Amino acid sequence: MSILNEFKQFLLRGNVVDLAVGVVIGASFGSVVTAIVTDLLTPLIAAIAKVPDFGGLYFAINGSQFMYGHFINIIISFILVAMSVFFFVVKPMNILINKSKKESLAESTTKKCKECLSEIPIEAKRCAYCAQITD
C-alpha cells in the first residue's frame, strides 16, 4: 500500500472527520458565545454597575503598572462565558438526555435478573429461570 493510499485512508476515517467537524462547529460556537457575552451580557452588567469597562484600572509601583482592571474584565468574561455555555448548552442537553432516558425506560417491558442476568417481565416477583426474588 502506498503512502498516498494510507494517507487517504487516514483522512477518510470516521473519527478524523468527526474531529474536524467538531473543531469547526466549536470555533463557530465560540464566536456565538463571545457575541452573547460582549454584546448582551457585558453591557447589561455595565448598565447595572455603572462602570462600562474595568480595563483602565491599575496601580503603579516603581513605575510598573499592574493592570488589575484588565484582569477583572477577563474574570467577568470567563464567568459570563461559563454561565452562557451552562445555561444555553449544558442544561438544555441534560434535559433532553434525561427526557430520552425516561422515554426509553417507559418503553421497556423487561428487566434483567440480578442473579442470572436473564430478561424477565418488569412485573415479575421471581425469576422464571433461577427462581431468584426480584425487586
Residue 126 inside a domain? The answer is no
Residue 20 inside a domain? The answer is yes
The model's confidence at residue 106, banded by pLDDT at 50, 70 and 90, is: low
Torsion of CA 21, 24, 25, 28, to 10 degrees: -170
Residue 113 inside a domain? The answer is no
Residue 116 inside a domain? The answer is no
Q: Which domain holds residue 66?
A: 3-108
Residue 59 inside a domain? The answer is yes
Report the predicted TM-score, pTM, of the whole model to 2 decimal places. 0.49
Contact 98, 105 (CB under 8 A): no
How far is the C-alpha of 26 from the C-alpha of 11, rounded, in Å? Answer: 20
Residue whose C-alpha is closest to residue 42's, from 88, 104, 84, 99: 84
Cell digits for 8? Answer: 487517504
Q: What is the mean pLDDT of residues 24-28?
A: 83
% of the chain residues with pLDDT over 70: 93
pLDDT in tens, 64-77: 999 888 888 788 77
Q: What is the mean pLDDT of residues 12-39?
A: 78
Report the CATH number at residue 32. Answer: 1.10.1200.120
Alpha-carbon distances, residue 29 vs 1, 9, 17 (angstroms)? 39, 29, 18
Task: Give the number of domains in the chain.
Answer: 1
DSSP annotation string for 61-125: ETTEEE-HHHHHHHHHHHHHHHHHHIIIIIHHHHHHHHHHHHHHHHH--EEE-TTT--EEETT-S
Residue 17 inside a domain? The answer is yes
Residue 44 inside a domain? The answer is yes
